[in-house]
Amino acid sequence: MIATLSAGAAGTAAEYRLQAVSVQCSASEHGLPRAVTVREVGPRDGFQNEPETIPTERKVALIDALARTGLRRLEVTSFVRPDVIPQLADAEEVLARIDVPAEVSISVLIPNERGLDKALALREGGVARERAAFDEINVFMSASETHNRKNVNRSIAQSLAGLEVVLARAREAGLRCEAVISTSFGCPYEGHVPVERVLELAARLRDAGAQEIGFGDTTGMANPLQVRRFFAQARQELRPGEGKGEGDRKTLQLTAHFHNTRGQGLANVLAALEAGVDSFESSFGELGGCPVPAGATGNIATEDLVSMLHEMGIQTGIDLQALLACSRQAQEVLGRPLGSHTLVAGPVQWNA
C-alpha cells in the first residue's frame, strides 16, 4: 500500500473530488452515511483542561443535561491520579451522583492499571441505583514516541504493554473498550507519523480487546485530503464491522476524533464521512484540548458537528437546541464565552 509520506501526507487535489451537497438532497445519494454516532467527551476532555476545578454539583448538572439531548455515548470522567489532574479528582463522586438514562452509555477514561483498579472497585462496589456506574472504558496512547513520553512519560512499547493488560481485564469485567491513538495524523514534535505505524498500533490494540479505535488529531495538524486517504487505508486494512458479533474481535468500530486547532475540524469530518466513517467524538462548546504542547486547543464542537450533519441530512438522534442549552449552561459555569460557532450564530433557520 501507500508507504511513503515524504511527499506530504495528503494526496493530490485531483484524488479528492467532492460533489456538491445541497441542503435538499439526501446524504446517502452522495455515498455518505445516513446516520452517525457522536460520542460526547466534553465532561472529561473539557473539564480536565479548565484552569479552575469545576464544582462537582455543576459537573453533575451538565452531565445530566447532556444525557437528555439524544446523545447516546458520554465520556464523563477519568481515573487519573488526582495530583496530576486535580480537575477530575472527584471521579467517584461524579459517577455516584449523575443520573443518566439507561440508554445512554457512560464511559470513563482509564490511563493505566492503577486507574482501572480504582474504576473496577467503584463499579463492583455498586452505586445505589439500578444501572452500573459506567459501561465503557476509553484508553489512549500516542502514535509518536515523543508525544507519548511527554503526555504519559512512557515509551510506546511500555504504553502498549500496559494497555494490553488493561484491555484484557476490562473485557473480562464485561466492559466495552475503546482505544484512542493520539497524534494519528501528525506530531508537533516529530512531524509526519507513518500511517503504517498508526494502523499497526490499531491492530495491536484491537487484538488486545479494543472494540473501537479512535484516531485522534490531537493538535489539529490533519487536513481533509490526508484524512480521506488515511481512513480509506484504515478501513481496508482493519476491516471494521466485518465480524460476526460482539464476541468476534473483527467487529471493530473506527472513530474519528478531530481538534479544531487550526479551524479544519469540520472539513476533516466531511473527508472522514466520505471515506465511510460513521462515528465521531466531539466536545460541547468546543471544550477541551491536550495537555501537551501548550496551546493545543479544543475538540470540534458537538453542536457545530451536529448542525453540519443535520443540514446534510445525516441523522444523529441529537436535539440541537437541547445541546446548545448545555453549552450555554457551561458558559455560565465557566464564566466565559465558549468557542463553538453554532452557539454564537444559532442553528440554521431556513424559514426565518
Question: Which positions from 257 to 296 touch Zn ion by CB under 5 A, shown as an x/- string?
Answer: ----------------------------------------
Q: How far is the CB of 57 from Zn ion (least distance, A)?
A: 25
The residue among 274 and 281 lying less far from Zn ion, judged by its C-beta, is 281
Q: How many residues bind Zn ion (CB under 5 A)?
A: 1
Q: Which of the residues are catalytic?
A: 290
Contact flag: residue 307 with Zn ion (CB under 5 A): no
> Measured from the CB of residue 216, what is the shortest distance to Zn ion in angstroms?
6
By the 8 A CB rule, do 36 and 276 touch?
no
Please choose, out of 72-80, 134-142, 154-162, 298-306, the segment that lies near Zn ion by the rule CB under 5 A.
298-306
Residue with cell 486517504: 229
CA atoms within 13 A on the CB side of 38: 33
Residues between 22 and 51 with contacts to Zn ion, criterion CB under 5 A: none
Which CB sits closer to Zn ion, 279 or 299? 299
Q: Which of 78, 299, 302, 342 binds Zn ion (CB under 5 A)?
A: 299
Least Å distance, CB 174 to Zn ion, is 27
Residue nearest Zn ion by beta-carbon distance: 299
Taking the least distance from each CB to Zn ion, the nearer of 133 and 256 is 256
Site string for Zn ion, 103-122 (x = CB under 5 A): --------------------
Question: In sequence order, what DSSP letters do the residues of 207-248 get, joined into one string?
Answer: HTT-SEEEEEETTS---HHHHHHHHHHHHHHH-TT-SSSTT-
Least separation, in Å, of the C-beta of 289 and Zn ion?
7
**Strand 176-182 and strand 136-142: pairing?**
parallel
d(CA 79, CA 102): 22
User: What is the C-alpha to C-alpha distance for residues 67 and 47, in angstroms, rounded to an integer?
Assistant: 16
Restricted to residues 209-248, the positions that interact with Zn ion (CB under 5 A) are none
Q: Which stretch binds Zn ion (CB under 5 A): 46-54, 84-92, 232-240, 299-307?
A: 299-307
Q: Strand 73-78 vs strand 37-40: parallel, antiparallel, or unpaired?
A: parallel
Residue (of 43, 28, 23) closest to 302 by Cα position: 43
When the beta carbons of 138 and 307 are compared against Zn ion, the nearer one is: 138
| CA dihedral of residues 272, 273, 279, 280 (deg, nearest 10) | 60
Q: Which is nearer to Zn ion, 123 or 303 (CB)?
A: 303
Q: Which is nearer to Zn ion, 151 or 299 (CB)?
A: 299
Annotate 121-188 with DSSP letters as a single string.
HHHHH--SSSS-S-SEEEEEEESSHHHHHHHHSS-HHHHHHHHHHHHHHHHHTT-EEEEEEETTT-BT
Residues 3 to 22 in contact with Zn ion, rule: CB under 5 A: none
From the CB of residue 140, how many other CB atoms can be counted at a distance below 10 Å? 22
Interaction site with Zn ion (CB under 5 A): 299
